Amino acid sequence: MATKTDVLVVGGGIVGQVAAIEIASSGASTIVVDAGRDSGSTANAGSLHVQMQSRFMRLYPDQVPALEASLPLYCAAVREWDHLDKKYGPFGMVRNGGLMLAETVDQMEFLKAKAEREHRANVDVEILDRDALDEIAPWLGPQIIGAELCRNEGKLDPLAANLRLREEASRLGVQFAQDQITSIDERNGMAVAVGSTDTWHADRIVLAAAWGTGSLLSDLGLAMPTKPEPLHMNITEPCAAHIGHLVQHADRSITLKQLSGGQVVIGGGWPADDRRMARVPGVRCTSLVGNVALAARLVPSIGKVRVLRTWAGINTTIDGASTVGPVPNAKRIIVAVPGDAGYTLGPLVAKMAASFVTGSDQPFDAGAFSPARFAF
């Protein structure tokens, strides 16, 4: 088979959906093709991150400079979520800020140094002692001695956001198809994507395939190190904990937030079983037990709340920064892969990528995020 369209978007997650909305709004015929594994945006836990995550800093110290340089992009990304929520929501979005907790003096010193770096990038952060924490988060465990508050951060319901954005894309005439794209190139003045069931011809291709992007670019002169990182998540039954912030820790892997319906979503980087590209990741009992035990230590009132569901998804790591823009030697192919916290960055990265297709003003300068940095 062979299918033609003005623009083909490869990847149907948050980036692909928002890019398709932007492009279809300009009048271009648009198809989104996705492999259908449901382990990226559809498995996301709904955190809106801005401050540098301690987990990322521990695991990928070589990537921290690129992450730190991207802080203005993160601030702009949550503002873009505000815009989307007003236009297409509600998404259950709340931006009361995020708390990164400390239990020791050393952890507090780490947060103070980190906050100074973030403040220089115009991130709205403040160090709070225990007395100040008690004013806004009295539900924290007694061992917490202080925290960094990032007022830019928040949370949302990704299921609601994904559904409403898909509905808007469909309303604009975007078509959705399932296929595994195995190669992409340019031929005879067209961008061509070869899939398992179809060959797709387009004037432009937006490549928003997250961890699958690197392999598709290898034949185009780019060595983009997209790596799948399988991670674990949980959700509890509704409870009356009244947790108003996104919660993280200065030295432990966790994110914790309460949805508007009272459920508590617990995640933050505990590992899941890698089942390769053919299947979604598998959950680990050790991650389930360790993740929820840490959550109960930080917020004791949820210690007896039941976990209703546990699942795993895939995060994508590259080099600490997003990648947005045309492939140097194949200008009809535009890359759109967010850096760490890809769901947070997704809509803004999507709009940046779409601007290369539509010719509209870029919502954020993409110059520093060009895929040309991976050329070989």
pLDDT of residue 37: 82
pLDDT of residue 2: 82
pLDDT of residue 38: 74
Model confidence pLDDT, tens digit, residues 195-204: 999 999 999 9
pLDDT of residue 277: 66
Model confidence pLDDT, tens digit, residues 170-189: 999 999 999 999 999 999 99
User: Among 124, 81, 135, 132, which Cα is nearest to 102's?
Assistant: 132
Instruction: Please state, in angstroms and rounded to a whole number, the distance separating the CA atoms of residues 240 and 87.
Output: 30
Instruction: Please state, in angstroms and rounded to a whole number, the distance separating the CA atoms of residues 254 and 241.
Output: 17
Helix (H, G, I), strand (E, B) or coil at 181: strand
Q: Which residue's structure tokens are 């919660």?
A: 247
Tens of pLDDT, residue by residue, the chain (376 residues): 689 999 999 999 999 999 999 999 999 999 999 998 878 898 999 999 999 999 999 999 999 999 999 999 999 999 999 999 999 999 999 999 999 999 999 999 999 999 999 999 999 999 999 999 999 999 999 999 999 999 999 999 999 999 999 999 999 999 999 999 999 999 999 999 999 999 999 999 999 999 999 999 999 999 999 999 999 999 999 999 999 999 999 999 999 999 989 999 999 999 999 887 667 899 999 999 999 999 999 999 999 999 999 999 999 999 999 999 999 999 999 999 999 999 999 999 999 999 999 999 999 999 999 999 999 9
Instruction: Please state, in angstroms and rounded to a whole number, the distance separating the CA atoms of residues 50 and 74.
Output: 5
Neighbours of 161 (CB within 10 A): 28
| Cβ partners under 8 Å of residue 295, min gap 6 | 254, 256, 264, 266, 302
Q: How many CA atoms lie within 13 A of 8 on its CB side?
A: 30
| Cβ partners under 8 Å of residue 293, min gap 6 | none
**Bond into 90 cis (ω within 30):** yes
Helix (H, G, I), strand (E, B) or coil at 70: coil
pLDDT of residue 61: 96
Domains of the chain in start order, with CATH, are: 2-42+160-226+319-374 (3.50.50.60), 95-153+227-317 (3.30.9.10)
